[in-house]
Structure 1
Amino acid sequence: MLPTPIKDTESSFIFPDQTCQRFTLAEIQSATQNFDDALVIGRGGFGKVYKCSNIGSMSEVAVKRLHSMSNQGANEFESEVKVLSMLRHGNLLSLIGYCNDEREMVLVYEFMPNGTLEDYLRKPNSSLSWLLLLKICVGAAQGLDYLHRGTSAQHGVIHRDVKTSNILLDANFVAKVSDFGLVKVGLMDRTHVSTAVKGTFGYMDPCYFYTGKLTRKSDVYAFGVVLFEVLSGKKAVDSTLDEDQWGLAGWAQKKIKAGKLNQIINPRLVGQISRKCMKEFARIARYCLHTEPKQRPTMAEVVVKLESVLSQETEIANSVVSEEGFIYKLRSLFTGKVDDAIESKYDFSRYLDLIRIEVDTAIGGSKDGSFRTFTDYQLASATNNFMDEVLSPTVNESIYKGWVHERTYAPTKCGVDLAIYVRKIEILSQKIIKLKNFNHPNFVELLGYCVSKGELFFVYEFIPGTSFAKHLYGGATSLSWATRLNIAIGAAEGLLYLHKRNQAAYRQFKTSHILVDKDFNARLSDFSFVSYTFQMDRYYATPEWFRYRADRFDSFFHDEDSFVSLYQLSFADDFAMKNEIYAFGVVLLEMLTGMKVYDEERPLEKKNLVEWVTPLLANEENLRMIMDLQLQHNDFPPKGAFKLVQLVSNCLQPKQDQPPSMEDILQVLNHCYQEEIKTV
Structure 2
Amino acid sequence: MRSCKVVVGFFIPCFCIIYLSGAFSPQDNYLINCGSNTDVLVDNRLFLGDSNSIYTSQGKSVVFEENTNPSSNLSFLYSSARVFNDASKYVFNINKIGTHFLRLHFSPFTSHNYDLRKAIFSFSANGVLLFSVNTTITNSVVREFILMVDKFELEINFTPNPYESSFAFVNAIEVFSAPDDFIIGDGAKSVGPKGIREFNQNMTLQTLETVHRINVGGLKLTPFNDTLWRSWITDEDFLILKYAAKIARTSHVPKYQKGGATREIAPDSVYMTAQQMNTDNVTTDFKFNITWNFPVAIKDASHFVRLHFCDIVSLSPGQLYFNVYLNGFTAYKDLDLSSLTFRELATPYYIDFVVYSGSSGVVQVSIDPSNLSSSMRKNAILNGVEIMKMVNFVASRTGSNKRNVWVIVSSVLGSFVLLTVVMILAALLFFVCRKKKLKSKPSESAGWTPLRRYGSSSHGTLSDGTSPGPNGYLGQRIPFAEIQLATNNFDKSLLVGSGGFGMVYKGILGDNRKVAIKRGVPGSRQGLPEFQTEITVLSKIRHHHLVSLVGYCEEQSEMILVYEYMEKGPLKRHLYGPGISPLSWKKRLEICIGAARGLHYLHTGFAQGIIHRDIKSTNILLDENCVAKVADFGLSRTGPCLNETHVSTGVKGSFGYLDPEYFRRQQLTDKSDVYSFGVVLFEVLCARPAIDPLLTREQVNLAEWAMQWQKDGQLDKIVDPHIRGQIKLNCLRKFGETAEKCLADYGIDRPTMGDVLWNLEYAFQLQESGTLGEVPEISNELPVPLPEGLHNEVYNGDGASDISTSKVFSQLMTNEGR
Measured against the shorter chain, the TM-score band is: 0.3 to 0.5
- Which of the two has greater strand per residue? 2
- Which of the two has greater helix per residue? 1
